[in-house]
Amino acid sequence: MQPADHALIIIDVQNDFCPGGALAVAEGDAVVAPINAMMDDFAVKVLTQDWHPADHASFAANHPGAAPFSMTEMPYGPQVLWPTHCVQGTDGAAFHPALRTDPADLVIRKGFRAAIDSYSAFFENDHSTPTGLDGYLKARGVTAVTLVGLATDFCVAYSAIDAAKLGYAVTVRMEACRAIDLEGSLDAAVAQMREAGVTLA
């Protein structure tokens, strides 16, 4: 059992990121069993959920002529244009049916603002608009976080780096994550996490 000040943050284990989904991560569903097994070891458990309106600016479909996975410039910087995924209220946005959701203390939804994407569980992609997770964890007395889920090189990595910047002791359990690996993005994310002081276990 982890100490009471250590939280488990489970990132985006949703149908659209699992095989058959709109933005499927290879072996995305393989994270479910290890995450389920881990949950009882943590006093504080948080689930994050990508939760986009259909007109979200990060969807390639909302940019005429743009191909999925191409890049565009947003007011907050470069942005990957994704296939339409995790649209609010759809089956694709739902948690994987085998994931244990009952033990979670909090479900935090991100990416619900149409004009800005949100990879991190802590901040929107402008790196300044908070999701509220930091305040919740601090109110619970949390000082250390372990991150698991999808995808290693985007939402997990962004969340881990932000958590480290906010002063948490951060561990990423790599066996309970899977990556998209878009043009070397996994190696880059691993290097950035290590540089930020994140422990990769």
The per-residue pLDDT for range 148-160, each reduced to its tens digit, is 999 999 999 999 9
Give, for all 201 residues of the chain, the pLDDT tens digit. 999 999 999 999 999 999 999 999 999 999 999 999 999 999 999 999 999 999 999 999 999 999 999 999 999 999 999 999 999 999 999 999 999 999 999 999 999 999 999 999 999 999 999 999 999 999 999 999 999 999 999 999 999 999 999 999 999 999 999 999 988 999 999 999 999 999 999
Q: Assess whether 5 carries a catalytic annotation.
A: no
Q: Residues 16, 45, 86, 110: which is the catalytic one?
A: 110
Q: Residues 16, 155, 162, 177: which is the catalytic one?
A: 155
| Alpha helices (runs of H) in the chain, residue ranges in sequence order | 32-38, 133-139, 157-165, 185-195
Q: Assess whether 117 carries a catalytic annotation.
A: no
Kindly report the backbone phi and psi dihedral angles of residue 91, in degrees, each rounded to the nearest multiple of 5, phi listed first: -65, -35
The per-residue pLDDT for range 159-184, each reduced to its tens digit, is 999 999 999 999 999 999 999 998 89
Q: Which helix (H) or strand (E) holds 175?
A: strand 169-178
Where do we find the tokens 């901040």? 123
Q: What is the pLDDT of residue 182?
A: 85
Q: Residues 12, 16, 50, 153: which is the catalytic one?
A: 12
Q: Assess whether 105 carries a catalytic annotation.
A: no
d(CA 49, CA 44): 17
